[in-house]
C-alpha cells in the first residue's frame, strides 16, 4: 500500500462493480444470491448485431482502428444524433471510446484542472465523482429529494456556481433515480448557464432509449449550449452490449480533438470488432430494440407495486433507465435480525446477508438515505428478491 500513489490510494472503489463482484463471489461459494446490483440488461445482444461482429471477424478486421473510431462508425453516429436527437455533428466532432465511462474520463481529463469545481446534481452515477477526483478537481453535490422527483431547480444551480465552476454533469434518464428532465426543465437550467459562459456541460445520455414515455431531450439541442456541451452515449444499455465496451461523444471539434489526443496515449482506438458491430446497431431502426424497453417497463411497474407494499420504502416513479431508488431512511436506528441499521450501507448489507439480495448503497451516488435496486433481472428473480426483502424486514 505504501508504494501506491496518493492518487490510487484516495480513489474510492466503484461501488456498483464492487457489489457485483461480491455477489459473484458469494454465488461461487454456493450462496443463493439474487444480484440486483449491476445496471446490466439481462438480454442477449440482438442477433443482427452479433452477425455483424462475426462478419467483421471473417472480413479480417483485426488491425488498430483510427484512435477516434472508424470513419463509417463516426458517420453512423452522426446520423444517429440527427435521427434520434436532432443534433448536427460532423464526423470530426465524434470520438469513439472503450465504453461511455472512458468517454467521460477523457472529457474530464481534457477539461479539468486541479482545483476546478464540477457540479454533480445528486443522485449521480458513482464514477462521476471518482473521475473528477482523479483530475484533482473538486466535486460539488447539488442535492435533490424524492419530493422534487430527484431534480434540481435553476435556483439551486445558480447558488452552486462559483468562479471556480468549470463543468456540470447532467444525466437524463438518470442512473440511479430513473428521473428524466423535460425540455422545459432543461431550458430553465440552461438559462442559468447562459450567464456563466465558462461552464461546460457533460450530458450523459446512455439511458436515452430506456424511456417509458417522457420525451428524451438532448441538452446540446439548446442553441446557446451547443458549443459547450459534450453529449455522451453508447450502445451498452439499449443494445444489451455492456461487455462490448463502446461509448462515444459528440462535442465541439476542439474538445473531440483533445479527447482523441488523450485516448491516443492511453488506449488507442476501441475494439475493432465491437466498432463494426456498433455500426449495425446504430444503423438499425430503434424499433428493433423496443421489445427490451417494453419488458423493462413491465418490470418497473411490477417492482414499484411490490416495493410500495413494504412499509418504510419511499419511492419516486422512475420514467427511464432500469433502477428504482427507494429512500429507506425510515429503517435507520432500528435493529433488524441482529443487525443495527445506521445508514444505507448497513441496510444494503442487511439485504445481502439476510435476504441474499445484492443492491447498491445510495452513499456512492451522493444520496445516503437511499439504496439502488436494478430491475434488469428476470421477473421471477425480481419477485423472489422482493419477497425475501419483505420477509427480512417483517
Ligand atoms: N453503469 C452500470 C451501473 O451503474 C454498470 C456498472 C458501472 O460501470 O458502474 O451499474
For residue 323, the SS3 value is: strand
pTM (2 d.p.):
0.96
Q: Which of 250, 258, 199 is nearest to 224 (CA)?
A: 199
What crossing angle do the helices spanning 126-134 and 100-111 adopt, rounded to 10°? 40
> In terms of DSSP bridges, do strands 247-250 and 94-97 run parallel, antiparallel, or are they unpaired?
antiparallel
Structural domains present in the chain: 6-44+289-393 (3.90.1150.10), 61-284 (3.40.640.10)
What atom in ligand 1 is closest to the CA of residue 101?
Answer: 8
d(CA 377, CA 274): 24
Q: Are 102 and 271 in contact (CB under 8 A)?
A: no
d(CA 246, CA 98): 5
Cell representation of residue 100: 461511455
Cα of 38 vs centre of ligand 1, distance in Å, is 6
Cα of 21 vs centre of ligand 1, distance in Å, is 12
CB atoms within 10 A of CB 114: 8
* pLDDT tens per residue across all 394 residues of the chain: 689 999 999 899 998 998 888 889 999 999 999 999 988 899 999 999 999 999 999 999 999 999 999 999 999 999 999 999 999 999 999 999 999 999 999 999 999 999 999 999 999 999 999 999 999 999 999 999 999 999 999 999 999 999 999 999 999 999 999 999 999 999 999 999 999 999 999 999 999 999 999 999 999 999 999 999 999 999 999 999 999 999 999 999 999 999 999 999 999 999 999 999 999 999 999 999 999 999 999 999 999 999 999 999 999 999 999 999 999 999 999 999 999 999 999 999 999 999 999 999 999 999 999 999 999 999 999 999 999 999 999 8
Q: How far is CA 41 from CA 49, 135, 233, in A?
A: 15, 31, 16
DSSP 351: I
CB atoms within 10 A of CB 206: 25
pLDDT computed for residue 389 by the predictor: 97
**C-alpha count within 13 angstroms, C-beta hemisphere, residue 118:** 28
Q: Are 269 and 245 in contact (CB under 8 A)?
A: no
272 within ligand 1 shell (Cβ under 6 A): no
pLDDT computed for residue 1 by the predictor: 63
Label residues 46-67 b or e (16+ Cβ within 10 Å = b): beebeebbeebeeeebeeebeb
Q: Give the helix/strand (H/E) hosting 168.
A: strand 165-171
Cell representation of residue 265: 496515449
Q: Which of 208, 207, 203, 205 is nearest to 255 (CA)?
A: 203
21 within ligand 1 shell (Cβ under 6 A): no
Cα of 224 vs centre of ligand 1, distance in Å, is 31
Range list of H helices, 59-162: 71-85, 100-111, 126-134, 154-160
DSSP 35: E
Residue with CA nearest ligand 1 atom 3: 39
Q: Are 293 and 136 in contact (CB under 8 A)?
A: no
What atom in ligand 1 is closest to the CA of residue 15?
Answer: 9
175 within ligand 1 shell (Cβ under 6 A): yes
d(CA 256, CA 44): 32
Cα of 181 vs centre of ligand 1, distance in Å, is 21
Q: What are the two backbone dihedrals, phi and then psi, of residue 159, each rounded to the nearest 5 degrees?
A: -65, -25
Residue position matching grid coordinates 428476470: 378
d(CA 108, CA 102): 10
Range list of H helices, the chain: 6-9, 15-28, 47-58, 71-85, 100-111, 126-134, 154-160, 183-194, 223-226, 253-266, 272-283, 290-308, 344-350, 379-393
Cα of 363 vs centre of ligand 1, distance in Å, is 15
Cell representation of residue 353: 446477508
Q: How far is CA 211 from CA 44, 145, 293, 294, 312, in A?
A: 19, 21, 7, 9, 27
Cα of 15 vs centre of ligand 1, distance in Å, is 9
Residue with CA nearest ligand 1 atom 1: 39
188 within ligand 1 shell (Cβ under 6 A): no
Q: Which of 236, 238, 162 is nearest to 196 (CA)?
A: 162
Amino acid at each position: 500500500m505504501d508504494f501506491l500513489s496518493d492518487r490510487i490510494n484516495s480513489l474510492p472503489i466503484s461501488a456498483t462493480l464492487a457489489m457485483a463482484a461480491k455477489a459473484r463471489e458469494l454465488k461461487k461459494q454456493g450462496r443463493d444470491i439474487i444480484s440486483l446490483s449491476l445496471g446490466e440488461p439481462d438480454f442477449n445482444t440482438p442477433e443482427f448485431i452479433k452477425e455483424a461482429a462475426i462478419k467483421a471477424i471473417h472480413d479480417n478486421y483485426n488491425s488498430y482502428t483510427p484512435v477516434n473510431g472508424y470513419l463509417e462508425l463516426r458517420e453512423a453516429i452522426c446520423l444517429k444524433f440527427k435521427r434520434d436527437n436532432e443534433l448536427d455533428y460532423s464526423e470530426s466532432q465524434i470520438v469513439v471510446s472503450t465504453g461511455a465511462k472512458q468517454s467521460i474520463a477523457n472529457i474530464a481529463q481534457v477539461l479539468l484542472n486541479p482545483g476546478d469545481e464540477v457540479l454533480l446534481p445528486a443522485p449521480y452515477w458513482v464514477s462521476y465523482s471518482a473521475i473528477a477526483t482523479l483530475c484533482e478537481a473538486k466535486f460539488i453535490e447539488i442535492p435533490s429529494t424524492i419530493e422534487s422527483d430527484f431534480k434540481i431547480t435553476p435556483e439551486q444551480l445558480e447558488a452552486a456556481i462559483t468562479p471556480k465552476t468549470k463543468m456540470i454533469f447532467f444525466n437524463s434518464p438518470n442512473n440511479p433515480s430513473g428521473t428524466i428532465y423535460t425540455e422545459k426543465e432543461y431550458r430553465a437550467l440552461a438559462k442559468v448557464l447562459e450567464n456563466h459562459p465558462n461552464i461546460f456541460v457533460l450530458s450523459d445520455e446512455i439511458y436515452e432509449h430506456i424511456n417509458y414515455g417522457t420525451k428524451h431531450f438532448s441538452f446540446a439541442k439548446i442553441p446557446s449550449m451547443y458549443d459547450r456541451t459534450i453529449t455522451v452515449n453508447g450502445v451498452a444499455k439499449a443494445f444489451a452490449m455492456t461487455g462490448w465496451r463502446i461509448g462515444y461523444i459528440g462535442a465541439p471539434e476542439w474538445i473531440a480533438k483533445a479527447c482523441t489526443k488523450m485516448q491516443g496515449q492511453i488506449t488507442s482506438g476501441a475494439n475493432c470488432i465491437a466498432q463494426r458491430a456498433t455500426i449495425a446497431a446504430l444503423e438499425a431502426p430503434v424499433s428493433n430494440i423496443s421489445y427490451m424497453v417494453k419488458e423493462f417497463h413491465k418490470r418497473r411497474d411490477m417492482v414499484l407495486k411490490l416495493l410500495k407494499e413494504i412499509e418504510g420504502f419511499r419511492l419516486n416513479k422512475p420514467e427511464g433507465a432500469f433502477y428504482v431508488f427507494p429512500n429507506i431512511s425510515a429503517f435507520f436506528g432500528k435493529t433488524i435480525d441482529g443487525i443495527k441499521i445506521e445508514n444505507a450501507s448497513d441496510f444494503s448489507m442487511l439485504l445481502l446477508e439476510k435476504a441474499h439480495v445484492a443492491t447498491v448503497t445510495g452513499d456512492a451516488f451522493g444520496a445516503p438515505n437511499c439504496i439502488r435496486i436494478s430491475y434488469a433481472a428476470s421477473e421471477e428473480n425480481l419477485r423472489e428478491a422482493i419477497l425475501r426483502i419483505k420477509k427480512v424486514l417483517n
